[in-house]
Amino acid sequence: MKVSSSLVVCVGCIIILQTKSLENLAEIQEFTEIPTQSSSYDDNLFDATNAIDGKFEEEGEATACSFTIMWKQNTRAWWKLPLTQLCHVEYLLIYFRSSTVNRHVGFSVYIFNESNFVPPSSGSGYTVFSQDTTTCPQRVMNITVNRLTKGIALYNAKEPPVNTSCPGYVTFATIEICEVQVLGCCIKEVQDVCQPCDPKCFNNLCDSYNGSCIYGCSNAHKKAPNCTNCIIGYYGNDCHHRCRHCKNGTHCDSTSGKCPEGCDKHWNGSLCDSCKSGYYGSSCSMKCSHCKMGTNCNNITGICEAGCEEHWREPKCDVCQDGYYGEECKFTCGKCKSEAFCDNTTGDCHNGCQENWLGSRCDICLEGFYGKYCDLTCSKCKVGTLCNNITGECPEGCEFNWQGPKCDSIFTIKTVCKKGFCGSNCTQLCDRCRNESECNNITGDYSQDCNDHWSGSRDGFFSMIANAILAFFLAIAIALIVFQRRRISALQYDRQMMDQHHIYQGENRSHNYDNFGALEETHEYTCLDSARELHFQDSSVL
């Protein structure tokens, strides 16, 4: 079989032949060595040489075909044809046995340059074709090679099993080919004229007919087969410049490098190769921190070259200075132990607190202490209560005879109570004045007359004591009077009984009884202890 052509390839050159045709190299003994296969079925009756004998028997027993052993445990099978020299192989024609063609689903074709090559990886080899497992192979396969090679190999593997819906597929590996034709040409004459491939082609390999770089370009950033234009994502005369950050992944112009759709987020410049103001980093995704007001950081390093805002640490102004913490570095560390600095993010004192301080941040006074430095002790707050740990005030009131918001002053007679209260602790009500007039909240005297049925005055602290003593003796006097009256009544009764007895005896006796007068009681009212709460107000000494 011959095909007209005027060009073939040698290593790094194009061979120009005046009247050269493609030939079936498998039929020319000077170009081929003896073919081999992984195994032979039926005592070599179907050995590897049957595939290049020129017979196309495809039906019946196919005694002119090459078969490998069809064992179920076979997972790999191969057939190969070495060439005696480097030849340009344009394409292959493979004739499968028609009744078993679907057993070759997923088969591959390799080219190789070392005679010891065994598919798929022993020695140097290269895959030029892999059959699509979603379809069934054709009975005659035309496979383009278009490469320089010293051998052709077919490979069929079922490890792992092939996933296919092709009918007739089997899980064991076999090769059943009736003929293989290798179409190409080899260098036979020294007078053949060679023209070198263009250096821009990868490894100086090119198409044998038109010189195009079908194997790729020596510059990996240029596009085959012409190797003149840049591949997507690169630009410039030599295509060594990579497109920068074009918007939404679009590509730059392959000549100028400009992004026709604009720049991606946080990028700037005609080539989208610099960060926008306020951002930095290799991807411009990092935001400048707290540079001094009105300035921005370096868009590469992130350093605030003009300095930081208050309480932020240079050079990037992204960490609080020692002694400060929080998102804005505006909070001062508490009283950490040994004057250590707190955590500049949370404010926690990891080594504990100074004396009289509590909390993870050491910003709360110990119970019983108050003040800026927690060095002041609470005063005489009511028993069982504590002062405010900031102001020192006693919200629940004071102990007996102590006064003031902080309960740090001893009560005196000259202390002024709140309106309507009097007494040593300002706990007594002044509520008996006529027309709701006020009593003297120092002495307790009423400024106007008393309400009906009330009398007396408020004599302050000493008046209260005197009234209490007077009330005590008055109670004793009343008790004595009551006792005396009862005693007199009993005596009168006895005398009456005696008089009646004397009359009965005829004795006339005259009786003269003493008059007993009743003591009039005078009531003086003092302040009522109607509330336990202390009611003080500020007053100057009288």
DSSP per position, 160-213: SPP----TT--SS---EEEEEEEEEEE---TT-EEEEPPTTBGGG---TTT---
Residues 6+ apart with CB under 8 A from 311: 320, 321, 324, 329, 330
The beta strands (E) that lie in 69-139 are given as 76-96, 108-112, 125-130
Does residue 332 share a domain with residue 436?
no
Instruction: Report pLDDT for 17.
Output: 39
Question: Does residue 383 belong to any structural domain of this protein?
Answer: no
Does residue 440 share a domain with residue 351?
no
Instruction: Report pLDDT for 120.
Output: 87
Instruction: Report pLDDT for 496.
Output: 66
Instruction: Report pLDDT for 494.
Output: 64
Question: Does residue 61 belong to any structural domain of this protein?
Answer: yes
3-state secondary structure of 464: helix
Instruction: Report pLDDT for 417.
Output: 63
Q: Please identify, among 196, 215, 244, the residue that sits at the C-terminal boundary of a domain.
A: 196
Tell me the one-letter amino acid at 203. N
Question: Does residue 404 belong to any structural domain of this protein?
Answer: no
Name residues of the chain where pLDDT drops below 70: 1-21, 43, 58-61, 122, 187-195, 208-209, 412-466, 492-542
Q: Looking up tokens 């009743």, which residue turns up?
A: 518
d(CA 85, CA 500): 177
Partner residues linked to 86 by β-bridges: none
Q: How many helices (H) and strands (E) does the chain have?
A: 1, 30
Does residue 153 share a domain with residue 14?
yes
What's phi and psi for 48, nearest 5 deg?
-65, -25
What is the number of structural domains in the chain? Answer: 3
d(CA 294, CA 271): 27
Does residue 445 share a domain with residue 326?
no
Tell me the one-letter amino acid at 366. L
User: What is the 8-class DSSP label of residue 449?
Assistant: P
3-state helix, strand, coil in the chain (%, to 5): 15, 25, 60
Does residue 360 share a domain with residue 444?
no
Does residue 102 share a domain with residue 177?
yes
Please give the model's pTM, rounded to 2 decimal places. 0.42
Instruction: Report pLDDT for 459.
Output: 45
What is the rounded radius of gyration, in angstroms, for the C-alpha atoms of the chain?
Answer: 60
Instruction: Report pLDDT for 320.
Output: 94
Residues in the chain: 542
Question: Does residue 241 belong to any structural domain of this protein?
Answer: no
Q: Please identify, among 144, 163, 196, the residue that sits at the C-terminal boundary of a domain.
A: 196
Q: What is the pLDDT of residues 123-168, one digit of tens each?
A: 778 899 999 988 999 999 999 998 889 999 999 998 777 788 888 8
Buried/exposed code over 39-73 (b: 16+ C-beta within 10 A; e: otherwise): bbbeeeebbbebbbeeeebbeeebebbbbbbbeee
Question: Does residue 308 belong to any structural domain of this protein?
Answer: no
Question: Does residue 418 belong to any structural domain of this protein?
Answer: no
Residues 6+ apart with CB under 8 A from 441: 416, 417, 418, 419, 420, 421, 422, 426, 430
Q: Are 388 and 395 in contact (CB under 8 A)?
A: yes
Q: Looking up tokens 């049925």, which residue turns up?
A: 453
Partner residues linked to 147 by β-bridges: 89
Q: Domain span at residue 452?
A: 424-501+520-534
Does residue 344 share a domain with residue 438?
no
